[in-house]
Amino acid sequence: MQTRTLGKNGLKVSSLGFGCMGLNFAYGAAMEKRDAIALLRQAVEAGVTLFDTAEAYGPFTNEELVGEALAPFRDQVVIATKFGFKNGDAKIGMDSRPQRIREVADAALKRLKTDRIDLFYQHRVDANVPMEDVAGTVKELVAEGKVKHFGLSEASAGSIRRAHAVHPVAALQSEYSLWWREPETDVLPVCEELGIGFVPFSPLGRGFLTGKIDANTTFAKDDFRNIVPRFSQEARLANQALVDLLGKIAAGKQATSAQIALAWLLAKKPWIVPIPGTTKLHRLKENIGATAIILSTDDLRQIDAALAQIQVQGDRYPPQLAARVGR
């Protein structure tokens, strides 16, 4: 596994990370704890060093799981977690008050069984707390040794600039994939200008780009995708054209659709580090295989030309969640 650097302060991570949320949150039934721990440790053994969690995943239980799984490898890995929701519950709303940020940091350190948070993200921009106060608080936590690097998630270009002016932002985490390319307009150019790494979550379109989901797929009652407009039956039927295209490209490269979707992101910029999640060992191995696929400039040009002919249907969030992003 090759490494990439996020930000200007030397945060080196594997070129592909692991999004831990789905191990026990948001996508139906949680994995058995024993199996989840085993999977995370297999990821480490396969060369993955960046693991992404948050207090809101559970809440709290995902951090505990990640902390236990990675404790034997603590000095070999980079653990990212997040603050920004009231009582750690995304359903309640935002809370990035300085006092709350400090409380989250201290609690996360205990749950993660560690003495430092490698990458501490603001989960969503809080309109009620000036970005300067947020960045200033994280700067103090860095000075105290509790946090190593500062990150933002789903922030606008303006918020990124304001935060970075107070304390260097190492990484911006947002959704980015073949079927959600909005970051290319404003956010990626700002990251490149300021030397900020970019960490795409849902790089496989919440599973849709793998080709394993179609209009007839049903999800568990507690699966987040049930409330996502892009996953309505009508939208999935309309978006099948994108999956079909991806499948054709993959066949030509003797790869899977998922691998091409990840390779496309890796080829975009050397400071982009996708964090696909999975609950299956064979999918983990498949994802890691994407790092060996090289897409040429001509490959990328052909993919972009083909994608331009497809209009993806459906919003990526329901209205109440869409209002939280891009601030």
The three-state secondary structure class of 253 is coil
The whole-angstrom separation of Cα 156 and Cα 159 is 5
57 counts as catalytic: yes
CA nearest neighbour of 100 among 83, 116, 117: 83
**Tokens describing residue 204:** 């496989």
46 vs 41: CA distance, rounded Å? 9
| Percent of the chain that is helix, strand, coil (3-state, to 5) | 45, 15, 35
| 113's tokens | 């069984």
Residue 199 · residue 17 · CB < 8 Å:
yes
231: three-class secondary structure by DSSP: helix
CA distances from 35 to 29, 40, 220, 278 (A): 13, 9, 20, 12
DSSP character string of 111-166: HTTSS-EEEEEESS--TTS-HHHHHHHHHHHHHTTSEEEEEEES--HHHHHHHHHH
Distance of CA 239 to the CA centre of its chain: 22
CA dist., res. 156 & res. 137, Å (int): 20
- Residue tagged active-site, from 27, 57, 121, 176: 57
Three-state DSSP class for residue 272: strand
Which residues carry out catalysis?
57
